[in-house]
Chains A and B, each alone.
Chain A
Amino acid sequence: MPIDRRFFSHFDYGLFGITFVLFVIGVINLYSASSIRLEEGVKIISFYKKQLVWGMIGILSFFIFLIVDYRKLKQATLFLYILSVVLLIIVLLIGDKSGGATRWLNFGLFKFQPTELVKLSIILWVSNYLSELNHVINIKDVFKILVVVAIPVILIIKQPDLGSGLTILLLVGGMMLFFGIDKKIIICILILTPIILPVIWNHMHDYQKDRIRVLLHPEKYKTKQGYNIIQSKIAVGSGRFWGKGFLKGTQSQLKFLPEKHTDFIFAVFAEEWGFVGSVFLISLYSLFLYRIVKVVEYSKDLFGAYIAVGVFFYFFLQIFINICMVLGVLPVVGIPLPFMSYGGSALIVNFSLIGLVANVSMRRFIFKE
């Protein structure tokens, strides 16, 4: 594969730059989230160091996904899909348990979450499917896509990892909406929703139901499920306009904030950097998404455009749901904040997906008008 000089001139510096800044902010914030105040003083746990290492691997992965021509992945979509489903089944059978969930495959040196691979393969498969469609999505297509997507999603929800399952479902929905769906189907869905919702409610776990109840009346659940969301709101609110300052967040350092390295990382940031910092971070995320939209707009083939759309929804949904959850607007679901939450597999996949988008962005010049 020739490395053209044009790759350097067409490389999407903006997208990579913003991603890198987000990653750096994430590591700095994790450093603060890792500090715990003890009788002897402040102690820092090495979470941020690990994240730094994962980030390096992620950036490496970014360039791998950048260099390989994304059009070659078109043929590999089915293979990737089957591989990820098989891995999911293996995880269910022999996976590592942690926190009541079976999500990891232990390779000795490192643990791997097949769920992350599923996200990639689903985006690729749907992009491929849509790029070959020359009509508005009809009921037949909906069923086809639904079946393909449902298999891994059910396996993921069984782990149980509702957050990832939901993200995948919604991102596929977003891609389909973007492509254009037969209006009759939309009307059908609008009519069916009120009928299906109670059915879904009845099939939910009690702890999941509680999370929704907590959202509506957090004060009633002060010591149990409501505790997390109340503490999170206190952390965010107590940051006020300017924030408490770096390493000065009492809510996080005194362990009042739960899951502060992962799902509630935004609260740590908001407590220490205040309204100013939080709005800045949200602006950065908006800019980040804007760069992806630009790639969609300028891409000159459908497969690439849909990949970018899929990646767009992938990030948008996670950022939006996670922040809204921390702010007490949406129920608590295990969805991490991209580039901010601690987690190796997610970080690598995030960088890889951005690599893929940069790949699309860079190669648009290959096509002639």
Chain B
Amino acid sequence: MYKLNGKYLHLKHIKLLYFCIFILFFIPSLRLWFLQILKGDQYYYQSTRNSIRYDYIYAPRGIIRDKNFNIIADNLPAFAIGIIREDCKNLCEYTVSYIAELLNRDKKEFLDKLRLGKKKVEPFKPLILERDLTIEDLSKIEVRSNDLPGIVIIPYPKRYYPYGKIGAHVIGYVGEPSEEDLKKYRYLIFGDVVGKTGLERSYEEVLRGKKGKKRLEVNARGRTLHEEIIENPIIGNSIQSTLDIELEKFIFKRMENQRGATVVMNPYNGNVLALVSTPSYDINKMAHGLKNEEWIALIKNKAHPLQNRGISSAYPPGSVFKLVVGLLALEKNVIGINDKVYCPGFYKLGNRVFRCWKKYGHGWVDFKRAIKESCDVYFYKLGEQLGIDAISEFAKKCGFGSKTNIFLNGERSGLIPSREWKYRRFGTPWQKGETLNTAIGQGYVLVTPIQVAKFISAIVNGGRLLRPRISFIEPVKMVGSLPASKRSINTIKEAMIETVNDKRGTAHILKINDIIIGAKTGTAQVISNWSEEDRKKDTKEIEYLKRDHAWMAAFGIKDKKAYVVVTIIEHGGHGASGAGPIVKDIFKFLFNKQG
């Protein structure tokens, strides 16, 4: 052994070994202090986040019933397939393609959903690939669930509308939320459904329940080992609609082959018993996701089935507007009820000639006969005497030109023209002739069927303008009253009854024994400048789209029951022939069934 300065030579570097021991102790200890003590709580949180997940339990939406407690929007148990991306790691695309193949679906569509959901779905939450799986598809996945990491089956309540196309426009439907919906309703998450239209939309916050929460313990493969409910889901509140679904169904079947709308209203409280719009569409299909081509077909359909014609379509009111002008004339006393006007079949204003619908004239007509037989000349004269300013102001006070505020989305306000409006719109001053056209409901005037129903209700109930009510949650609300005396209103009401009872009345077709029925027909011109030859032709021969719209605004009273029925049939021709039979059948149905 070699020695140097009394030390063994081979121990010259023994300090190296001690140094090694020192760093073995020092570096890991320092690092352990950093990880376990300084950042320990943070890592502890991460470790629980790893294995503890929170998931939602879907709350069923509230049920919608009609006034007779028939369920018109229900929930059924259903299953969706989703994928938790964190659990399938980098095999997401593969897994999704495999599922698509297994279920015989379009691979691209599934992969698109995966890509789209990447930013929208929170981590560790399932990304929904398809809803409403059939039992066969469900079992196909269930059998292979062990080989499909990250794939989850999610039970959820599915919306079901037992009446399909009937009442579609009122009930509305649910769907996946759009960007706007997500902004509007903060509680929504990707994969939820939200009311899109109709009652489903209006009462979204009432119908929607509150999602529950559950706590899951999972392993690294995403398998759930333990499950615990920490917050029970709260079922959404049910609502009862004023709609009578059987009535709705009857009217729908009656109108199915035509385009148009019918409103049935209780004149004393504004309850909307039926709000039919044809053609319609199946809301079940809408709720469960339309295929792209189906959606495009629906939007491009020339008959506009998605439009709720009862509130979203404004038409010229035609002769129905004579009720408004007549009421104003009585109120302003511009004409006595028995004063007569001679109708030669035309009316001259300066050089212009305005025709009455009856070519050879009505002869001498008084107020009631003018309503009853819908004499245009009589109302041209009234129009000239009243002037546009008075008509415009009065019509607006009767509820026209503004929304009725029925609690449904998409309502239009229609249009009551005025001097200012015309100047703003066209930059030209108001012409006297236009006042005459307005007086018989042609020209610029546009009204919605629900506005007409509201107005007729006021005639029936003695002048109270009620907000149309679509569900029993809303209070009965009087929004104003007709600016006319009870006597004038009663005169109009009587004139309408005579229009039905008198053989020469334009709405005589509605007559039903034992029931007091009043009505006013209307023919809304689609094109106002018919040539003489066109006029001679039968309406059936005129090209369908050029045909006039047929109005029938009516009420029926028997004992204590009263109903207002307003129907418009697009391109139905004359009011009496186009809409009359339908309204008559509705009254028969209403009074046979309910008294």
Contact = CB atoms under 8 A, between A and B. Distances in A.
B477 interface: no
B29 A233 contact: no
B13 A293 contact: no
Given A234-B46, A254-B219, A275 B37 contact: yes
B144 interface: no
Contact of B43 (A236, A241, A283, A302): A236
B40 interface: yes
Contacts of B1: 300-302
Interface string A299-315: 01110011001001100
B42 A320 contact: no
Q: Which of B13, B17, B18, B50 has the most CB of A within 10 A?
A: B17
Contacts of B35: 233, 236-237, 327
B32 A286 contact: no
A255 interface: yes
B24 A286 contact: yes
A285 B24 contact: yes
Interface string B41-57: 11110111011000000
B89 interface: yes
Given A237-B43, A240-B37, A255-B220, A37 B225 contact: yes
Interface in B1-48: 1-2, 10-14, 16-18, 20-21, 23-25, 27-29, 31-33, 35-37, 39-44, 46-48
Interface residues of B, number: 44
Describe B's contact surface by its main secondary structure: helix
A239 B34 CA distance: 12
A75 interface: no
Given A240-B40, A250-B51, A289 B21 contact: yes
B23 to A, nearest CB: 7
Contact of B40 (A238, A301, A329): A238
B43 A297 contact: no
Interface in B532-547: none
A120 B539 CA distance: 110
Contact of B219 (A37, A174, A328): A37
B90 interface: yes
A255 B221 contact: yes
Contact of B31 (A174, A177, A329): A329
Given A234-B50, A255-B221, A282 B44 contact: no
Interface residues of A, number: 57
A256 interface: yes
Classify the secondary structure of A's interface with B: helix
Contact of B50 (A224, A251, A274): A251
Given A37-B219, A223-B90, A254-B218, A320 B24 contact: yes
Nearest to A249: B47
B29 A282 contact: yes
Contacts of B47: 234-235, 237-238, 250-251, 256, 271
A283 B22 CA distance: 10
A20 interface: no
B51 A256 contact: yes
A293 B14 contact: yes
Interface in B179-229: 217-221, 223, 225
Interface string B117-146: 000000000000000000000000000000
Contact of B89 (A38, A223, A236, A313): A223
A48 B36 CA distance: 27
Given A237-B36, A285-B24, A286-B21, A302 B42 contact: no
Interface in A266-322: 270-271, 274-275, 278-279, 282-283, 285-286, 289-290, 293, 296-297, 300-302, 305-306, 309, 312-313, 316, 319-320
A250 to B, nearest CB: 5
B24 A239 contact: no
B32 A297 contact: no
Residue picked from A134, A270, A274, A282, most chain B C-beta under 10 Å: A282
Contacts of B223: 39
A178 B16 contact: yes
A150 interface: no
Contact of B36 (A38, A224, A239, A328): A239
A324 interface: yes
Contacts of A239: 36, 40
Contact of B24 (A238, A296, A316): A316
Given A178-B17, A282-B28, A286-B25, A238 B46 contact: yes
A256 to B, nearest CB: 4
Nearest to A256: B220
A250 B41 CA distance: 15
Contact of A283 (B2, B16, B25, B46): B25
Nearest to A292: B17
Contacts of B217: 254
Contacts of B50: 231, 234, 250-251, 254, 256
Contacts of B25: 282-283, 286
Contacts of B29: 279, 282
A287 B476 CA distance: 89
Given A238-B44, A250-B50, A38 B24 contact: no
Given A234-B50, A286-B25, A316 B42 contact: no
B51 A238 contact: no
Contacts of B13: 177-180
A263 to B, nearest CB: 15
Nearest to B43: A237
Contacts of B33: 275
A323 interface: yes
B17 A324 contact: no
A301 B11 CA distance: 12
B41 A323 contact: no
23 contacts: A37-B219, A39-B225, A174-B20, A180-B12, A224-B90, A238-B46, A239-B40, A240-B40, A240-B41, A240-B43, A250-B48, A254-B217, A254-B225, A256-B220, A297-B14, A305-B10, A313-B20, A316-B21, A316-B24, A319-B24, A320-B27, A327-B32, A329-B31
Given A278-B32, A327-B28, 8 more contacts: A37-B225, A180-B13, A234-B47, A240-B40, A251-B51, A270-B32, A271-B47, A327-B35
